[in-house]
Structure 1
Amino acid sequence: MAVGGRYAGKVVLVTGGGRGIGAGIVRAFAQSGAQVVFCDKDESGSQALVQELPGTVFMPCDVTREEEVGALIADTLHRFGHLDCVVNNAGYHPPPQWPEETSAQSFRQLLELNLLATYTLTKGAVTAMTKALALDESQYGVRVNCISPGNIWTPLWEELAASTPDPEATIQEGTMAQPLGRMGQPAEVGAAALFLASEASFCTGLELLVTGGAELGYGCKASHRTPVG
């Protein structure tokens, strides 16, 4: 662990921190000098991260269960005495589906994980909730911001690509979706989270896009031609 880093002496809790973007966030805060507690359903990957980053603490937790989240926070406070930052990273990006292919139960489960536990379908709700919480929590001196990652090369992205008929073409399409000509890395999302926590002290209710500019321009937005008139 870094001594005297940008976030030294702070305690950070990261959900979904065992791999991918979450692991990048855990690394960024740990290397900045923070005490990091994280949870993830992938226990083997989480234990490997603890070995890589001595001083980090892994605690099993199902973030869709309120009582387990309460216990996670209580255990963190008992261990360290305070909590300075929470990064609600746990979430899931399902394979692309048309609305008529998605069951009501699947949508409820996606909302429960991506919104209540905190991509495409639920990200707008996360952004709206961020702004509402920023207003509500400002009276306590608490800032609430969110990060909207674009195509970040993670094990989940790789798994989703492998499930398509042409994985190489899928990866190439994902790579070329950004004007910067590449996908992002988990470490870059971690750096954004650390910036919001440690330096963006006058920012709240902010949505920070970490997308490589994928939302810019006039790229193809429709998969079929719609008749005019």
Structure 2
Amino acid sequence: MAFTDIPSALEAKFLASARESRIVTLAGIKAIHRILENSRAARAAQEFRSLMDLSVVSCFLTAKFALPHLRKTKGNIIDIASLVNVIGQKYAVPYVATKGAVTAMIKAMAIDESKYSVRVNSISPGNIWTPMWEKLASHTANPEATIQEGKDAQLLGRMGTPAECAAAVLYLASDATFCTGINLVLSGGAELGYAQKSHRNSSSDFEG
């Protein structure tokens, strides 16, 4: 969807349901490579700008065009970010930066929209088993081992599911009526505990 399509898409949504009071935004694509070392300046800048447009500007414009309606219904906005905006990730500078921008944006937006009783929150999922995760794993030397490594990254010993993400969205949209400006981490405990973190001799094909 192009930026110019956002207003008409939202208009159709709100015309279909005048009482609609929730908007959920999710945009982004992860490209893991050494952009700081292997890309020329012009190419690296263009890649960064493109991902910023996709992950951040699209969410901003969706909110901008939805807010006149959401202010009337005292609705809420939920942006999907990523756990990596909290803990960082190897070889993913643009992706991490754009997801960090999303969580920073919802805090500022929550302040501005509080006078209209519009809540603005975000969710930061960790490893969620999706077709994109499967595709990334398939490009490594040992996909089965990569998938197991992804599971082992969580204290719960598995990846999350899209259904669990949906449940978190429903919680923020419906039950979390006293929450605004928060970033809900949905990670299975991946960010907790000490671990071996030196990458000086790392030869892993995939950093998930």
Hey, what's the Cα distance between the residues in 2 that align with 1:126 and 1:182? 26
Greater helix proportion: 2
The TM-score normalised by the length of structure 1 is 0.67
Q: Which residue of 2 aligns with 1:90?
A: 27
- The residue type equivalent to 1:189 in the other structure is C
Shift in Å, 1:200: 0.2
Q: Which residue of 2 aligns with 1:145?
A: 121
Q: Which residue of 2 aligns with 1:191?
A: 167
How many pairs align? 162
Hey, what's the Cα distance between the residues in 2 that align with 1:197 and 1:138? 15
Q: Is the 8 A contact 1:111 1:122 kept in 2?
A: yes
Hey, what's the Cα distance between the residues in 1 that align with 2:197 and 2:148? 17
Shift in Å, 1:96: 4.6
Hey, what's the Cα distance between the residues in 1 that align with 2:19 and 2:10? 10
Does 2:50 correspond to 1:113?
no
Hey, what's the Cα distance between the residues in 2 that align with 1:113 and 1:134? 21
In the alignment, structure 1 segments of 5+ residues that lack a partner are 1-61
- The residue type equivalent to 1:172 in the other structure is Q
Q: Is the 8 A contact 1:95 1:160 kept in 2?
A: no
Of 96, 112, 116, the residue aligned with 1:136 is 112
Q: Is the 8 A contact 1:93 1:120 kept in 2?
A: no
Structure 1 residues 47-91: Cα deviation after superposition (integer angstroms, max 9, x where no partner): xxxxxxxxxxxxxxx1xx322011111111222224310000122
The answer to which of 111-120 and 70-79 deviates more is 111-120
The answer to which of 99-108 and 128-137 deviates more is 99-108
Q: Which residue of 1 aligns with 2:65?
A: none
Does 2:184 correspond to 1:208?
yes
Shift in Å, 1:125: 1.0
Q: Which residue of 1 aligns with 2:101?
A: 125
Q: State the identity as a percent.
A: 51
In the alignment, structure 2 segments of 5+ residues that lack a partner are 60-94, 202-208
Shift in Å, 1:108: 1.0
Structure 1 residues 162-218: Cα deviation after superposition (integer angstroms, max 9, x where no partner): 112221221111110111111101100100000000000000000000000101111
Taking a change above 3 Å as real, the CA distance of residues 100 and 210 of structure 1, as seen in their structure-2 partners, is: same
Matches for 1:24-63 after TM superposition, within 5 Å:
62=1
Taking a change above 3 Å as real, the CA distance of residues 175 and 97 of structure 1, as seen in their structure-2 partners, is: farther
- The residue type equivalent to 1:183 in the other structure is M
Does 2:184 correspond to 1:222?
no
SS in 1 for 2:147: helix
SS in 2 for 1:122: helix
